Each structure stands twice: as C-alpha cells, then as structure tokens.
Structure 1
Amino acid sequence: MSEYQYYEFLALDRPLNATEKAYVQSLSSRVELTLTQAKFVYHYGDFRGNSHELLEKCFDVMLYMASWGSRQLIFRFPKSLVNADIFEPYCLEDRITISTTKKSVILDINIHDEEMNHWIDSGEGYLSDMASLRNDLLQGDMRSLYLAWLKAAPIYFDPEEEDYIEPPVPANLNNLPNSLLVLIDFLELEQDLIAGAARASESQEEEEESLEDLIPKLSEREKNDFLVRLIKGESHVGMQLTNRLREFAGKREVRIDNNIPRRTLSELLKLAEGEINQRKKNEQEAAHQTKIQKLEALAKRKDKVWEQIFELLKLKQSKPYDQAVAHLVDLRDLAEYQGKLEEFQTSIKQMQIDYSSRPGLISRLQKAMLLVK
C-alpha cells in the first residue's frame, strides 16, 4: 500500500503577508499556497516544518491525515479570546493536549487508530468544512472536543489499569451541524458510541439574539475602547465585542449541566453495545416487514410466476435455469409464510420426476436446497 500524508493549514483571522508567504514557500517547493491556505502532500518523505511553529507564525487551524491511521486537528486561539482552562477536562495525555505560547493557546487533537489504517488518496475538503469549529470553541461549544475524546479514549483504554471518567457532556449532541458530521467522518467515530453518549446530552434551542440591543449595557469607557481598537485594525475586536455582549445575555458559553452524573468509559461502551443491539433489532424488524410486503405482493401473482418458471425451463439453458430457481426460492418463502409448504414440496417432487434427465437443473435445485427426498 502506498504512503499518503496530507497537511493543510488555514488562516482565518487575516491573510498572510509577503514575509509569511516566503517563509511557508521555503518549507517545500511543492506547497500549494494562497493568501489564506497552504497544502502539502507527500507520497514519500515528510514535512520539513514544525506544525505548531507554522501555526503560531502564520495560520489558525491545521489538519493532518496519513494512510497509516493518523488524524490530527490543531487550533490556534489568541490568548485574549480564550481561557485554556475550559479545554482541560477534555484532554487526554499525548492525544488531546493544550499548550500556550506568548500570544496563543494551541489545542492539539492527535489520534492514531489502527482501524483507520486504510488507503486514502485525498484529504482535501475536510478542513474547509470543519474550520467553523474554531469559532464554535471560542463561543464555548465543546461538542467537537467531546467527540474527539470519545474517539481517543477507547483506543488507549486499558480496563485493568484505569477506567476513564467522561468529561462534561455538552448540549445538543443529538443535533449536530454539518461541521461536526464532517469531524465524525474524519475521525471515523462510531455512530453507536455517539448515540449512547448523547443520552445524557440536553437539548437546547438556539434563540435569536439581538446583540445590538445590549450595546447600551456597555460603559462609555468600554465603547470607546472597542472603537479605538477597531480603528487601529486590531484582530478579533468583533469577536471580543460579541463575547462581551453575550455575557450580558447570559449566553457566553453553551450551557453544560454539571448535575448530570459523569459516566465511566466502560459504561459508555456498554451503552454503545446496547445501541448496536437495538439498531440490529430495528434493522431485522425492518427487513422482516419488507419481506412480508414482498411476499404478499408475490401471492397476488403466484400463478403467473409458475407459468414463467415453466417457460424458462423449456429453454434448457443455464441462465434461464438460474432465473427459474430464483423464482422457486421466492415461492418456497411464500409457501412457508402462508403455511402451504407441503403443497409447494409436492410441486417440487413432480418437477424432480419430470426433469430428472436435466442434471444442470437438478444440481441447481440441490444447491438451493429445494430438492425433496
């Protein structure tokens, strides 16, 4: 299997300047570079740069994926916009980590799963669909981090050593936007595990906010400060103002009910097993209902099907034999459903007598377990 590595970086807060573009270009002559994006693809060799360093200097989010089962998503946040402590409950050693620099907070989701060790030929499209997760995290929506924990924890879980306690469960895990669905696909996270975990997740309706109506709550000093910073072209002024106004509305962060009992990973895995069993039961029931509908439709044209079978047998050819036997299998299922299996077997016995000189047909009947002794 060929090797494939894909790195993509996005600048969300501002475009790259000339110096930054030159720096990125120096890392690889094959980089696909624009003012807001850099892509590196390797089928051999490796990335010469340092991902954290490149984020700190130029970009705001990075995606990495490799054909041997590695998935990585890194977000850079300005220290002025986020308190790193809110991410701590979701961290796992070496897998979901927080680091800080002079100006930034770096959230690094780095997962290796042998089950994801399969051929991939393109990582393009994922990051653009997940870029909005950075803004969600800035606004206190921890669903992406919870899902990342849900992926990482079972991989490194050893029940003989430690049973992890889940982090706080965010609201609305039962109602996921496209960005989170893409994250689930990127991490190849099991839907049954999500469904089990989501049982403890509240449903919160997002209410329309009129943030403009809250501006009078700002002091004159705050208003003037925001205006001066806006004139100076400072980054993130709009986000900081929005966050300040959301504080007045009591909606700075997506609410997490700390009264909800926290479950162990073992309990979550049992819930996932229950979801799997229920799903299989539902699928079996749906398949059974579909089969009944099919059989009831077949019952209305049973005589016509028998006619088709005998017409096919007259052709004395392999393909018509296969078609005839397929019809007979359906008629056997119908006979079982109607409680008329003995009547059907009588017809098969007569067919065995009438067509005993046709080994091709007889062998097909035997293979389909239609022969009657």
Structure 2
Amino acid sequence: MSEYQYYEFAAIDRPLIRAEMTQLRAISTRAEITPAGFVNHYEWGGLKADPSDWMRRYFDVFVYTANWCSCRLALRVPLAAFRKAEVKPFATRHTLSIEANDAHWIIDCSLDESENYDRFSMDDGNGWMRRLAPLRDELLRGDLRPLYLGWLAAASELRDDALEPEVLPGLSDLSPPQQALVEFLEIDADMLAAAMTGRARVSRDDAAQADRIDAWLDEWPRNEMAAVLKLIAQGRGHEAERQVRSRHAAWLKTQRPASASPGPRRSVGQLRELAQSASGVRLECEAKKRAKQEAERRQQREATLRLLMADVDKHWAAIDAQAQRGSASGYEQAVRALAELAEGYALTSSSKEFERALRRFLVHHATRGALLRRLTAAGLWTG
C-alpha cells in the first residue's frame, strides 16, 4: 500500500489575503487554496512546509491524518483567551502541547501508533475538520473540556502520581465536537468513564439558569457592559463573548457553595484503578447487550422458520423445481433452501423427520451427482 497523508488548514478569524495564497501556492501546485483554507493529500511524499509554522502565520485550525495510524489536530486561539495558569496544567510531554507566541496560544494534540488499522486504512481525512473545528469556538467561550480530553488522551504516558487538571463541570455531558475529539484521539473508553466518575452533570434547568443570569446582570456595572457592547459593534464578537463568559464564570464561582466544589484532583494511578472498575462494568453491560441481541435474533429466526414450516409442501415443490433445472445455480439455490428446511424441521418436529423427507425428495434426483456432492458438502446428506 502506498503512503497517504491528508492536510487541511482553516482560516477563521481572518481570511487569507492574495499574497498569502500566492505563498502557499508556491509550496503546493495542486492543493485547494481559498481565503478560508488549504486542503491537499499526498500519496507519495508530503507537505514541503512545517504545519506548526503555518499555524503561527496563517491558520486557526489544522487537521492531519496518515495511513500509518497517526493523526493530529492543532487549534490557534488569541493569547487573551486564557491565562498561562489556566492552560499549562493540561500540557503533556508528547500528546498535548500548548505554546504561546506574541499573539496566540497554539494547542496541538496528536495520536501516534494507533492499532486501529481498519480505521486508518479507510479514513481519507475528509470530514474531521467539520467535526473538530467547533472545539475552537468552545475554547473561546471558556470551555476547557477539550483541553482535559487532550490531557486524558496522554494518560498512558504519565506517571501514576501525576495529578489531573481541575475537572470542570460538564465532563459527563460532552458536546458533539468533544465526542468527535474522543474518537479522533481514540481516548480509552474506560479512562473516560473513570474521569467522569463522581462528576456532576451540568444542570439543564433553563429557567433556573435564566434566573442566575438575571441576578448576575443586575450586579454588572453599566460601564463594563457598555465596553462589551462596543466590542460587538467593532466586529470583535469573539473577544466580547470571551469577556462575558469569563465574567460570568468568575461570578458563578463566588455564588457556588463550598459543597459544590468540583472535588479533589485525582492522580493518574487513581484514574487507572477507576478505569479497571469501569472496564468490568462495561464488559458486563456489553455481555448483557449481546445476550439480549442474540435472544432477539433467535426469536426472529424461530418466527421465520415456523412461518416456513406452516406451508412446508409448497417449499419442497419449489426446491424440486430448482433441482430439475439441472444447473449449478439451481443446485446451489436448492441446497440453501434445504438447509433452511433442516432448521425448520429441527425446531418444529425432528431432524429424523427431515432426513426421511429428504430421502423421498432424492428418489427423483438420485442421478444428479453435482446436487449430491453439494448436499454432502453442506452436511445435509451422508449417502
């Protein structure tokens, strides 16, 4: 199999200008390049540029997949979106890097050496950008769950005594882009269940949330509210939303009773122990689900066979007609139908009864060697 690599970059906050598109075209003559992004795939060779450099200079989101079981996601957000103390605890040595330049944070997470060969042999990379790019908007709104998931994807490389970052509310209720990130990075299902253990879901009581927002707005100084509205009028909506959500989150912390704290940070070792317990529960649930599905399949099959046996003479006549065709396809259809009849007799009467009926059928077809060989191969006839 030849190599396959897929590169897709998206420019969100600022479209590419003509000079920048010309610079990109000089690097790739056949890529799809628009003011909104760059898309190309390679079956021999690869991109003759550093994606990290392109993220610093041009783009806000980068998605990469390769058929040697590797993938990568990078997100660029304005430096003002977070304080260093907020994001650095999520960074790991290999899987999740978080770097800052003069204007942006660049969050880069990757999966290397996956064992899901079927996924990467079939995945052409197309579609991940649409599913993962909304993570950037979530980060801009102050939702740090994508960072926690990136940290969790790196759990296998961390020591048992390493502490998890603060777990924010809502980890037990992931958004669709966050669920896509779990799939993209192949985050272990049992470790994810362990991380969710003991973490409350975000309240869905819209009326209660509206009341809390009204109470917060009553306390918001008019001059600060006017400053946010000015940002919106200037076309800086993302920045305005970040400020609003940041202020709201800070206010909520002052209103949260001590008993509602997110709980102590757990060690990776503790999460691994919880994951072992979650694995047992998951395997038990999967076994019950399989047993239920098998019982339903068996019931459906039995209903089909009983319906077949309700008019068994008609089916024997149809099989006789197939055999009389004297062709390979006719014999194969006859044998398949006979195998189904054998199941029906075993269910409603006995296998001995089927054997007697088959002998009567073969009185008229004893000279059809090709048919007899097929029946023998199917285990329906011993001669």
TM-score bracket, normalised by the shorter chain, equals: 0.7 to 0.9
1:177-326 to 2 correspondences below 5 Å: 177-184=175-182, 186-187=184-185, 202-208=200-206, 214-227=216-229, 229-230=231-232, 234=236, 236-244=238-246, 246-247=248-249, 250=252, 257-258=262-263, 263-264=271-272, 267=276, 268-326=278-336
**AA at the equivalent of 1:333:** E
Cα deviation digits, residues 112-131 of structure 1 (max 9, x gap): 13434544574233212321
Higher mean alpha-carbon deviation, 121-130 vs 67-76, is at 121-130
Separation (CA, whole Å) in 2 of partners of 1:248 and 1:149: 24
Work out the CA distance in 2 between the residues paired with 1:314 and 1:345. 20
In 1, the alpha carbon distance for the partners of 2:104 and 2:345 equals: 72
Equivalenced residue count is 367
Going from structure 1 to structure 2, the CA distance change for 1:232 and 1:305 (only over 3 Å counts) comes to closer
For residues 358 and 256 of structure 1, do their structure 2 counterparts lie closer, same or farther at Cα, with a shift above 3 Å needed? farther
Is 1:332 paired with 2:342? Answer: yes
Deviations 1:254-308 (A, max 9, x none): x994379753175155555445434433432332232123223223232321221
Contact 2:70 2:110 in 1 (8 A): yes
Moved more, 177-186 or 334-343: 177-186
Counterparts of 2:369 and 2:240 in 1: how far apart (Å)? 82
- Which letter maps to 1:264? R
Q: How big is the shift at 1:25?
A: 4.3
Q: Distance in 2 between matches of 1:333 and 1:166?
A: 57
Which residue of structure 2 lines up, in the alignment, with residue 13 of structure 1? 13
Q: Percent identity between the aligned chains?
A: 25
Equivalent positions of 1:58-69 (< 5 A) are 58-69=58-69
CA offset at residue 359 of structure 1? 1.6
Can you list the C-alpha shifts for 1:334-370, whole angstroms capped at 9, x where unaligned?
A: 2222242222222234445553322212111111111
In structure 2, what is the Cα distance between the partners aligned to 1:164 and 1:299? 65
Provide structure 2 residue ranges, at least 5 long, that are not aligned to the other structure: 255-259
Aligned AA (1:258): G
- 1:94 is displaced (CA, Å) by 0.5
Contact map agreement 1:132 1:179 (CA 8 A) in 2? yes
Match in the other structure for 2:257: none
CA gap of 1:351–1:15, structure 2 versus 1, over 3 A, is: same
Please name the residue that 1:102 is paired with. Answer: 102
CA distance in 2, matches of 1:249, 1:298: 69
2:57 matches 1:52: no
Summarize the Cα distance change of 1:30–1:85 in structure 2 as closer, same or farther, 3 Å threshold.
farther
Q: Which residue of 2 aligns with 1:362?
A: 372
Q: Deviation string for 1:32-68 (max 9, x for gaps)? A: 3222212243333332333233222222211111121
Alpha-carbon distance in structure 2 between the residues aligned to 1:227 and 1:83: 23
Structure 1 CA distance for aligned equivalents of residues 115 and 314 of structure 2: 50
- Aligned-residue CA RMSD in angstroms? 3.9
For residues 78-89 of structure 1, the aligned pairs below 5 Å read: 78-87=78-87
Quick one: distance in 1 between partners of 2:55 and 2:192? 30
- Tell me if structure 1 keeps the 8 A contact 2:72–2:111: yes
Deviation of 1:134 after TM superposition, in Å, equals 1.3
Q: Could you tell me the TM-score, scaled by structure 2's length? A: 0.77
User: Given that residues 110 and 185 in structure 2 are in contact (C-alpha distance below 8 angstroms), is that contact kept between their aligned partners in structure 1?
Assistant: no
TM-score with structure 1 length normalisation?
A: 0.79
> 3-state SS of the aligned residue for 2:16?
coil
